[in-house]
Amino acid sequence: MNNKTKSFALGVSVLAVSMSVVAEGPSRLDVASGYSIRNMFGASAQNVAEQIELLSGGELKLKVHEPGELVPPFEILNSVSSGAIPAGWSSIAYFAGTLPIANLYGALPFSPSAEAVFSWTAAGEGRELLQNSMDKYGVKVVPCSFLPQEPGGWFNKEINSIEDFKGLSMRISGLGAKVLNKYGATTQLIPGGEVYLALERGRVDAAEFSIPAVDQSMGLHEIASNYYFPGWQQGAGWLALLINQGVWDSYSETQQARIETACKANIQKEFDEVLPAQIKALQELRDKGVNVKRFPEPVLTELRRGWDEVREEEMRSNPEFKQAYESLMQHSALVDEWYELQQISN
Q: What's domain 26-148+235-274's architecture?
A: 3-Layer(aba) Sandwich (3.40)
Count of CB atoms within 10 A of residue 206's CB? Answer: 24
- One fold for both 26-148+235-274 and 153-232+279-338? yes
Residue 320 annotated in ligand binding? no
Share of the chain above pLDDT 90, in %: 79
Share of the chain above pLDDT 70, in %: 93
- Asked whether residue 232 carries a pLDDT value surpassing 80, the answer given is yes
The reported pLDDT for the residue numbered 19 is 36
Distance CA 336, CA 271 (A): 19
Specify the range with the lowest mean pLDDT, choosing from 1-5, 159-163, 191-195, 233-237. 1-5
Mean pLDDT in residue range 243-261: 97
Q: 7-11, 234-238, 252-256, 271-275 — which one is most confidently predicted on average?
A: 252-256
User: Residue 93: pLDDT band by 50, 70, 90 thresholds?
Assistant: confident
The reported pLDDT for the residue numbered 2 is 52
User: 3-state class of 136 per DSSP?
Assistant: coil
- Asked whether residue 23 carries a pLDDT value surpassing 80, the answer given is no
Q: How far is CA 148 from CA 151, 215, 229, 274, 328, in A?
A: 10, 14, 13, 8, 17
Residue 314 annotated in ligand binding? no
User: Residue 191: pLDDT band by 50, 70, 90 thresholds?
Assistant: confident
Residue 240 carries which DSSP code?
E
Query: For residue 235, with 0-12 CB atoms within 10 Å meaning exposed, 13-18 middle and 19 or more buried, which class applies?
Result: buried
Strand order in the sheet with 206-207: 186-188, 169-171, 206-207, 153-155, 226-229, 291-294
Beta bridge partners of 64: 31
Residue 171 annotated in ligand binding? yes
**Where are the chain's structural domains?**
26-148+235-274, 153-232+279-338
Chain-centre distance for alpha carbon 315: 22
Q: 107-145, pLDDT tens digit by residue?
A: 899 999 888 998 999 889 999 999 999 999 999 999 999
The reported pLDDT for the residue numbered 173 is 83
Mean pLDDT in residue range 168-184: 94
The reported pLDDT for the residue numbered 4 is 45
Mean pLDDT in residue range 170-193: 93
The size of the chain, in residues, is: 346
Q: b vs e for 324-343, b when ≥16 Cβ sit within 10 Å of the residue's Cβ?
A: bbebbeebbeebeeeeeeee
Angle between helices 297-317 and 319-342 (to 10 degrees): 140
> Which H or E run includes 33?
strand 28-33
Chain-centre distance for alpha carbon 38: 17
User: What CATH fold (topology level) applies to the domain 153-232+279-338?
Assistant: D-Maltodextrin-Binding Protein; domain 2 (3.40.190)
- What's the whole-number average pLDDT of the chain? 91
The reported pLDDT for the residue numbered 128 is 96
Q: Which of 192, 210, 212 is nearest to 277 (CA)?
A: 212
Mean pLDDT in residue range 170-187: 94
Query: Which is more confident, 39 or 76?
Result: 76
Greatest pairwise CA separation for the chain in angstroms:
89
The reported pLDDT for the residue numbered 1 is 52
Q: 138-164, pLDDT tens digit by residue?
A: 999 999 999 888 999 999 999 999 999
- Asked whether residue 6 carries a pLDDT value surpassing 70, the answer given is no
Helices (H), 182-220: 192-200, 212-218
The reported pLDDT for the residue numbered 43 is 94
